[in-house]
Structures are given as structure tokens and as C-alpha cells.
Amino acid sequence: MNARLKKNGLVASAFLATSVDGFIAREDGGLDWLVGRGETLGDTGYDDFFASVDALVMGRGTHDIVKDFDEYPYAGKRMLLLSTSLETTDWPDATLHRSLEDVLDTLEREGITRVYVDGGKTVSTFLREGLLSEITISVAPVLIGHGIRLFDQFESDIELEVIATRELGSGFTQSTYRVVPQPEE
């Protein structure tokens, strides 16, 4: 847990979609079970969420999928890529970081407090360190059996408090949770 950043007012949030069985992608990163299913989703709140953050912290696994999108979806936002293996990036306003500590130092140095954390392992890293404040999960009405899980295994329970739950279109449900700070925080 990094108390220094909590003190500096970091508000890190995640906004993801899962299958009912808790996967964010197929093993090969495929999102076919998600994309195309949500044509009548309605307003998911994503645009407001995106507008509310100053920067993204993204794991390399998500980068590797997004880099093949036709259009870069994060234009205008500072991007911190977390990876021990990526050598370069040509994304605008993006920097590479080898460790969470380096990400935290950079956010502090640049005075960035409102952060969108993306990628299963990266979200779990923030949760494990007590650095995630809020998480919104939209659940698609499908079981895909295997794939990349949203959450790692944690050594102890992480309590969540539900802020809102609602039905979206296309059979999706969405819940937003506040992460309850652990006692030592």
C-alpha cells in the first residue's frame, strides 16, 4: 500500500466489461463476445467517466490489443504504459514505465490525481496496493468459459461498497463499487 499517494489525493478508477463468468477477454485477447453485442446498450456512462480523468495507466496486455484498433481511442489524455517488455511506443502523450513505483512517482511529479486504470493485471496491481478507489463493471449476458480474468488472486479480502447498480440495454447490467480502504490505510 502506498500511503504517500493516497495523501497526495490520487483517485484511481477502473471501468471495464466482463462476461458473467468474470473474463475481460478471450485467451488470445479476443473481444468478439463483447463488441457487437452492445449495439443497443444505451449510455453506459463511459464518456462521462473518460471526461473525468486526467490520465490513463494501462498494462501492456491491453496496449497490445488497442494498438491494432483503427483509431486511437484515448486522444487528448496523458497515457502511462506499464510494462517490463515494451521498448517504445508511438502513442501520443504516452510514456513507458517499468514499475508501479515509477508510475506513482510520475503521477506525483506531474500533479495528476484522477486516473483511469486499465487492464486486468494492472487493475489487480492497484487493488492489491490499496490504490484503486472505484470500479465500474458492466456484465455482458454470456459465459465464455475461459480467457483473461479481470481479477488476480488476492491474499486477503478486499471489501467493496456498491454505489449504483442498473440495467443497460442488450441484457447488460452495470455496477459501480467503491473500494473500502483497508484498515492499515
CB nearer to ligand NAP: give 22 or 113: 22
CA 45 to mean position of chain CA atoms: 15
The least distance separating ligand NAP from the CB of residue 68, rounded to whole angstroms, comes to 10
**What phi, psi does 81 have (nearest 5°)?**
-100, 125
The least distance separating ligand NAP from the CB of residue 62, rounded to whole angstroms, comes to 3
The least distance separating ligand NAP from the CB of residue 25, rounded to whole angstroms, comes to 3
Judged by CB under 6 A, the chain residues 75 through 134 that form the site for ligand NAP are: 82-86, 99-100, 118-122, 125
**Given 5, 10, 12, 24, the residue binding ligand NAP (CB under 6 A):** 24
Q: Are 113 and 54 a contacting pair, CB within 8 Å?
A: yes
How many residues touch ligand NAP under the rule CB under 6 A: the total is 26
CB nearer to ligand NAP: give 133 or 174: 174
* Site membership for ligand NAP, residue 61 (CB under 6 A): yes
Listed in sequence order, the residues at least 6 apart from 109 whose beta carbon sits closer than 8 Å to its beta carbon are: none
Residue 70, C-alpha cell as written in the block: 483503427
**Given 16, 41, 142, 158, the residue binding ligand NAP (CB under 6 A):** 16
Which amino acid makes up residue 124?
S
E runs forming strands in the chain: 11-19, 23-25, 55-59, 78-82, 94-97, 114-118, 132-140, 148-149, 160-167, 173-179
CB nearer to ligand NAP: give 66 or 183: 66
**Given 22, 38, 41, 65, the residue binding ligand NAP (CB under 6 A):** 65
Listed in sequence order, the residues at least 6 apart from 93 whose beta carbon sits closer than 8 Å to its beta carbon are: 76, 77, 78, 79
Q: Which of 178, 117, 123, 175 is nearest to 154 (CA)?
A: 123
CB nearer to ligand NAP: give 73 or 111: 73
**Given 59, 96, 131, 136, the residue binding ligand NAP (CB under 6 A):** 59
Q: What is the DSSP letter of 90?
A: -
**Where does this chain bind ligand NAP (CB under 6 A)?**
16-17, 24-25, 29, 31, 34, 59-62, 65, 82-86, 99-100, 118-122, 125, 148
